[in-house]
Amino acid sequence: MPSREPSRPATVAQAVAGGLVAGAAFPDVGWWPAAMVGVALLALSLRRDSARWAALVGFAWGLAFFLPHIHWLYVSVGVVPWVALSVTEAGFVAAFGASWVWIRRIPVLARRPNVRAVLFAVAWVTFEQARSIVPFGGFPWGRLAFSQTGGPLLPFASLGGAVLVSGLVAACGALLAQGWVFLRTRDPRRGAAAIGAAVVLVACGLLIPLPGGGGSPEAMAESGTLRLAAVQGNVARPGLDAFSTRLEVLRNHVAGTDAVVDEVGTGALDVILWPENASDVDPRADGPTAALVDGAARRAGAPILVGTLRYDDLGRYNDAVLWVAGEGPVAVYTKQHPAPFAEYIPIRGIARIFSDKVDLVRTDMLPGTEVGVVPLDVERLGRTVPLAVVICFEVAYVSIVRDAVDAGGEIIVVQTNNASFGRTPESTQQLAMTRFRAVEHGRTAVQVSTVGVSGIISPDGTVRRSTGLFTAEQMIDEVPLRTSITTATRLGSWPALAAALVTAGAVAAGVAAHAAGRATAPAPAHQPTGRRS
């Protein structure tokens, strides 16, 4: 006999529980199966045949997920931006819920539960991708794929990137929901088959080959190795005023570089990596700052990749500058995707109504236009090594990282500054994204932060080294350089485009099937003539 539908309040409560459970899959909790359970609870909450109700349920799931997941935004800039962004992102889950009801009305899906699970997953990644693009360039934080860096689905990143991994998480959640429904309706065979299919999908990740060699850099290397250090200088105090003391943070990174030299000696490294905002004073425009940077590079006997800011008559820019002792800046990458409402303020007049913190951003940051490849001359190797460099939140945007790798980057460098987010999981969430990109593109990835968490990740996703939060630390390592292109890198945006086309077609088919069903329904025997209820 069919299971009775839960009441509407119970359905919303179930959706809220699903959003909270899904959040536990991400750092700092990091229990990766929770993402599938959270999606399963959402799927169960969407069983009523009403698109408007499904939108409400999806919105409830989205709020329950995003409010805790990006709580670090409240710590950084306050309640209004935190709630506004959470509401915006939850709106995409609401749109997914409504679309799923229309898709589910395709008649053949009633007899094809496995196809239902696939279309559920395809629709999910379509809306996940949509919120990664709009509004204001999108906000990819919280993609299900980023919750799987500690689980067996991570190797799928090398085949289809975040679209494939998120899709597999959503498909597993849909299968778990179907299995539960079948078990409740006393159909144990089909219930076990659905749950078993989810288990098989997860286990398949163990069969995907990744760069091996037992973790040996030489075994993973395709074009030699790079000897590097990443310096986390720390700040005197967290928060928005962490950089209020001129040159203090720069001196911290100089001191960290000198500590590296004390450990390995002059000339032992090929490059030293500093984080975003390691020097808020531009060494290209300020003599004392240039002297500090140049002195550190000279004592190290290695170039330094310096995170700094640049100003001109139009605005300011977030730059990664490669500095060689005695020569100064030899290459630069400018951040392509400044963070809206943090590094620049869209619709400033309207935004000011909701928060006066927008006026803390006095000069809007402007985007760079060049792909993030910084050429590093390595005398030991006798050649130039292209570094794929991205800055801060850019690691969340698939096209920015992919373009840099596709342009020849042999190692991924993520410069970031997490000082304003306090002791929240923001930095570990970002490190999970860096870990995902390492596997997705088959590259060593180094995340270097002003305050942590910093990390060095092998192309197979292994975290080789990491630092604490709000500590002054250095990481020294020899890492593999690679030139081969993964399937995910080669496919580019095609998986996302294909998912969007399938979703649009499925929604259209569901709308058409519903309209056809209403057109062929028998007319009522008696047409009421009184008032409509």
Which residues make Cβ contacts (< 8 Å) with residue 267, sequence separation at least 6?
A: 300, 301, 302
Alpha helices per DSSP H over 185-284: 188-204, 217-220, 248-264
Catalytic residue among 392, 394, 440, 473: 392
Phi-psi region of 442 (alpha: psi -120 to 50; beta: other; left: phi over 0): left
Catalytic residue among 89, 128, 172, 335: 335
Size of the chain in residues: 533
Instruction: Tell me the CB-side half-sphere exposure of residue 86, using CA atoms within 13 A.
Output: 22
Cis peptide before 28 (omega within 30 of 0): yes
Q: The tokens 């460098």 sit on which residue? A: 413
319: which strand partners?
308, 334
User: What are the backbone angles phi and psi of residue 271, rounded to the nearest 5°?
Assistant: -160, 150
Cα angle 310-312-313, degrees, rounded to a multiple of 5: 155
CB 93 within 8 A of CB 127: yes
446: which strand partners?
413, 456
Catalytic status, residue 357: no
CB 121 within 8 A of CB 170: yes
CA distances 529 to 360, 519, 526, 532, Å, are 64, 21, 9, 9
Within 10 A of 149 (CB to CB), how many other CB atoms are there? 25
Pick the closest to residue 123 from 60, 191, 184, 42 (CA basis). Answer: 42
Catalytic residue among 276, 343, 394, 410: 276
CA distances 19 to 36, 57, 95, 123, Å, are 11, 11, 16, 18
Pick the closest to residue 74 from 392, 425, 365, 352 (CA basis). Answer: 425
**Residues that are catalytic:** 276, 335, 392
